[in-house]
Amino acid sequence: MPSTTQRRRKNRKEMLEHLKSGPCTCCGRTFPPMEMCWDQVRGLDLPSFRISMHANHSWGAVLAQIERCDLVCRECFTYRRRFRTILQSRETIVPMTDSIHEQKALEQELKRHGNN
């Protein structure tokens, strides 16, 4: 007979997998939950934590944290991270776009500027 804590942990895991079953916010493709990542894009000035550390936080706090994130696939997540690093290194403020193709074009543009 599983304890309440064990049951709760299992429910959370199922809920999180369910929340991760949606399509990628960035490219619109759908992958298994394990291929999806939470990319925090809102409330960056607020105290935050990794969703994978959910066991240390209340379910309400986990949901609040998820609200601040875009659900993206691993590929887009890696790309977004790299893109932001480039922007930060240049201290340039360029708005994030919804389309990964637009982001790629922006990155090309920044690279060209760097060569001039």
Q: Which residues bind Zn ion (CB under 5 A)?
A: 24, 26-27, 73, 76
Phi, psi of 76, deg, nearest 5: -65, -35
Nearer to Zn ion, 16 or 76 (CB): 76
Tokens of 56: 């240390």
The CB-of-36 to Zn ion minimum distance in angstroms stands at: 9
Nearer to Zn ion, 8 or 29 (CB): 29
Residues 6+ apart with CB under 8 A from 24: 30, 31, 36, 71, 72, 73, 76
Nearer to Zn ion, 62 or 71 (CB): 71
CA gap 110, 99 in Å, rounded = 17
First and final CA of the chain: distance in angstroms?
A: 68
The CB-of-58 to Zn ion minimum distance in angstroms stands at: 29
The CB-of-33 to Zn ion minimum distance in angstroms stands at: 14
Nearer to Zn ion, 78 or 85 (CB): 78
3-state SS assignment for residue 31: coil
The CB-of-74 to Zn ion minimum distance in angstroms stands at: 8
